[in-house]
Amino acid sequence: MKGMQEVAGQVLVLINKLIDARAKGNPTVASTTRTKLLLKGIKAESWTPSSADDPAMLAKVRDVAREMGVAI
Amino acid sequence: MIKTALSKAAATAEAVGELATQLQGAEASVVLVFYSSRHDAREIARLARSAWPEAHTIGCSTSGEIVSGEMTDGAIVAMAIDRRVAAEVAVAVVGDMSNPRRVDAACQQLGALLHGDLGQHVGIVLMDGLSGKEEAVMDRLGDLTDLRFIGGSSGDDLAFSATSLIADGEALSNAAVLAVLHVPAGYRVIKTQSFCRAGKQLTPTRVDAAKREVIEFDGKPASEAYCEAVGARTVEEAGSRFMSNPVGLMDGDEPYVRSPQAFDGHALKFYCAVSEGIELDLLQSTDILADTQRALAEANSDGRVIGILNFNCILRTLELKAQNKTEEYAKLFSLPTAGFSTYGEADIGHINQTATMIAFLGVDAGAEPA
């Protein structure tokens, strides 16, 4: 529809922001953070730049970031 | 120096006395004690505190003990880690596992050690194996620190009645004991589960996380979907496949094993929670002995390992017993080793049918950190 913008890939963007902010360049922490997300029900590999945005998953990633004390 | 000890004495005071004699000479900063549930936890806590007043004393009840070269039932084992290996130790207790926010307070108590260099600091976590709350504790712990916490859930000799933990003279239940060790020479984590992918996937589409139950896989009743996946004609037949065919949450090629416990109507109850919508791989058991041998050899390829803490799932122990291979398994641990058969294992999260181990490295001035 004219005037509406389709946004995609925001889940992946947020996941990567969370991992980067937590890891601060440490690859070991990046890897364990990815595993922690998986155990919380967020599988990073399932999301691509073209994945449709899922509001529930976006909210979940934001919640996890807040619990981890990470600003995204 | 790391020293281990074993006592099979029936009387608790005599048993702890024997451990103390065997551990003489170790200037321990921490002593870990793993004891059969036939011993009274309060007495163990008190006696351990008295035997090693200069050290932190932590431990828990078991469903079988592991010590260098031997697996036992009904005994007590201990590991003393001296100050050259663990230069600093902090211990804190999560007094009520049903409230994950209590982890925050425990982490505050652990202080600066909780945020130390990741290569030189390792966490140990012992949790009440009948709490059903291990996921919540590990989850919150992972939020609060990047440190690796390895451990297991206390057992009670398969009675499934009551387990206990000890920390610095106190006996505890429905609790988690956290310890952080500053190990200047470093450490390595060994995680081995002895499973491979079976080539089939199951995605939980309806779960009851609090009950650790999957109600539906792929839109079908969980019992039906699991039976189909393992090729069983009845739930009874499928139930006999639980130990050899659990499911795994795959982190790349690394499974985080979720073990089925029982059918509950059409639902499938697990020993740990699973997430809705995340695909699980059906797993097929492989050779515990060969896998463990390989994992130990890899971890100690440079000969720097001087001691191992082993948290081995009770289901693995039962499988070893069924195959009459406990002696062979124990003989793989020729280095000073202590541990126990657990009601759940911990490494980043809560897992099943796995052995999680900490391999402590010796002080070696010329060596690279882990």
pLDDT for the residue numbered B113: 96
Q: What share of chain B is helix, strand, coil (3-state, %, to 5)?
A: 25, 40, 35
Indicate the pLDDT class of residue A8, thresholds 50, 70 and 90: confident
Q: What is the pTM of this model?
A: 0.94
Using CB atoms within 10 Å of the CB of residue B25, give its burial: 0 to 12 exposed, 13 to 18 middle, 19+ buried. Answer: exposed
The ipTM of this complex is: 0.91
Q: Does A26 touch chain B (CB under 8 A)?
A: yes
The owner of tokens 């697990």 is B270
pLDDT at B306: 98
Closest CA to B88 of B28, B148, B1: B28
Report, in angstroms and rounded to the nearest whole number, the Rg of chain B calculated over CA atoms.
20
Distance (Å, whole) CA A1 – CA B309: 62
Residue of A nearest to B144 (CA): A68
The reported pLDDT for the residue numbered B367 is 45
- Produce one character per residue of B166-194: b if its CB has 16 or more CB atoms within 10 Å, e if not: bbeebbbbbbbbbbbbbbbbbbbebbbbb
Q: At what angle do helices A55-68 and B134-144 cross, to 10 degrees?
A: 70
Residues of B in contact with A67 (CB under 8 A): 140, 143
Name chain A contacts of B256, Cβ cutoff 8 Å: 35, 38-39
pLDDT confidence band for A6 (50 / 70 / 90): low
Cβ–Cβ of A32/B146 closer than 8 Å?
yes
Report how far residue B304's alpha carbon sits from residue B309's, in angstroms, rounded to the nearest whole number: 15
**Is A67 part of the contact surface with chain B (CB cutoff 8 Å)?**
yes
Instruction: Spell out which residues of chain B touch residue A40, defining contact as CB-CB under 8 Å.
Output: 139, 275
Å between A36 CA and nearest CA of chain B? 7
Angstrom distance (rounded) from CA A17 to CA B84: 40
Sequence-distant (≥ 6) Cβ neighbours of residue B128 within 8 angstroms: B97, B153, B154, B163, B164, B165, B172, B173, B174, B175, B176
Burial code of B6-24, b = ≥16 C-beta within 10 A, e = fewer?
bbeeeebeebbebbbebbe
CA–CA gap between residue B223 and residue A28 (Å, rounded): 38
Residues of B in contact with A28 (CB under 8 A): 118
Residues of chain A neighbouring B143 (CB-CB closer than 8 A): 36, 67-69
The C-alpha of B142 sits at a distance from chain A's nearest C-alpha, in angstroms, of 7
**pLDDT at residue number B263:** 97
In chain A, what residues touch B138 (CB-CB under 8 Å)?
39
Q: Are B88 and B182 in contact (CB under 8 A)?
A: yes
Residues on chain B touching A29 (C-beta within 8 angstroms):
118, 146
Backbone angles phi, psi at B165, to 5 degrees: -135, 160
Task: Assign B18 to helix, strand or coil.
Answer: helix
Give the count of Cβ contacts less than 8 A between chain A and B.
Answer: 47
Residue ranges of A 32-51 with Cβ closer than 8 A to chain B: 32-36, 38-41, 43
Distance CA B186, CA B168 (A): 25
Q: Are strands B187-192 and B355-361 parallel, antiparallel or unpaired?
A: antiparallel
Q: Provide the pLDDT for residue A4.
A: 43
| A63 reaches B (C-beta below 8 A) | no
Q: Which among B118, B144, B348 is the nearest to A35, CB-wise?
A: B348
Q: Tell me the average confidence (pLDDT) per consecutive run of 10 residues in chain B, 370 residues long.
A: 97 98 96 98 98 98 97 98 97 95 96 96 98 96 97 98 98 98 98 96 95 97 97 96 96 94 96 93 96 97 97 97 97 98 97 97 59
Q: What is the pLDDT of residue B363?
A: 77
Query: With an 8 Å Cβ cutoff, are A36 and B277 in contact?
Result: no
Provide the pairing of β-strand B165-167 with B56-62. Answer: antiparallel
Residues 6+ apart with CB under 8 A from A45: none
A60 touches chain B (CB under 8 A): no
pLDDT at B364: 61
Q: What is the pLDDT of residue A57?
A: 95
Reply yes or no on whether the pLDDT at A5 is more than 60: no
Question: Per-residue pLDDT tens for A19-32?
Answer: 999 999 999 999 99
